[in-house]
Amino acid sequence: MARVVLVTGAARGIGKAIALKFLENKDIVYVNYNKSDKEALELAKAFSNARIIKADIALEEDIKKMIDVIKSQEGRLDIVVNNAGIANDTLVESKTKESFQKILDVNLIGAFLVVKYAREIMEKGSIINIASTNGIDTYYPYSLDYDASKAGLISLTHNLALELAPNIRVNAVAPGWINTDMNKELDEEFKDKELKKIMLGRFGEAKEVASVVFFLASQEASYITNSVIRVDGGSR
Ligand code: NAP
């Protein structure tokens, strides 16, 4: 039986690479998007097993409706990937309570709400949260709000792993620098400095994160829960 998968923020970037892995495996994939309507439609055209679903992960009502749609169409959900995320790289002085809250609403509270509602139609399966090495040990003053949200997401992963065991495995993947839109405006000098800290000497590709997520969702990972797996090329 085809698995029913939800990937948030799945029309572009890492989320799209994750959705493609499941789509190519013939799973039924709910491709959530917020602003990328055009990219989502392209995926729907290319794959008959793609179900595109618009929802702003910062809004509880949108999340509730999205899960209701999956419930009415499939009656169940097997795999959830909390991938939607935003950053706001600015100096501390430029950040505000509102800008900090916006990061938490998508990256942390959004992931919590997706699980809260998805849980109602998930008897067993796997949840994978896309965190970041910034939530573990990479310090970067411009993104203290983002880093805190990802540390929170890792904490959420641990608590959910305990609460939802043994039927649902909950893990996090923590990417380092990955080539996506999120990093396309990096200053060249800064990028060169960061490259020197990576053992493999390059930024990663979205599909290199996707393959780890696909593994964690599979039966091959049946004894893995509560883990945070770094996909960072060996960053120091
Ligand atoms: P990206 O290219 O900027 O894509 C961000 C994705 O998040 C888009 O699909 C976007 O959807 C979605 N999103 C943002 N706000 C949303 C909202 N309110 N509701 C629903 N979807 C929303 O970033 P990325 O690099 O692929 O990042 C994906 C995840 O990996 C994020 O959680 C990020 O923190 C994490 N990560 C990335 C890196 C990296 O180096 N790239 C490293 C570590 C962790 P729409 O376009 O439809 O709005």
**Residue type at 230 in one-letter notation:** R
Whether 30 shows a pLDDT value over 90: the answer reads yes
CATH number for region 4-231: 3.40.50.720
* 146 among known catalytic residues: yes
Mutate to test the pocket of ligand 1, among 20, 34, 154 (most ligand atoms within 8 A of CB): 34
Place of tokens 């609403």: 105
Q: For 139-194, what is each residue's pLDDT tens digit?
A: 788 999 999 999 999 999 999 999 999 999 999 999 999 999 999 888 899 999 99
Mean pLDDT on 29-53: 98
- Is the pTM for the entire model greater than 0.95? yes
Burial letters 121-154, b for 16+ CB under 10 A, else e: bbeebbbbbbbbbbbbebeeebbbbbbbbbbbbb
* Ligand 1 near 11 CB (within 6 A): yes
* Ligand 1 near 62 CB (within 6 A): no
* Ligand 1 near 175 CB (within 6 A): yes
Sorted by where each begins, the domain ranges of the chain are 4-231
What is the average pLDDT score of the chain? 97
Q: For 60-71, what is each residue's pLDDT tens digit?
A: 999 999 999 999
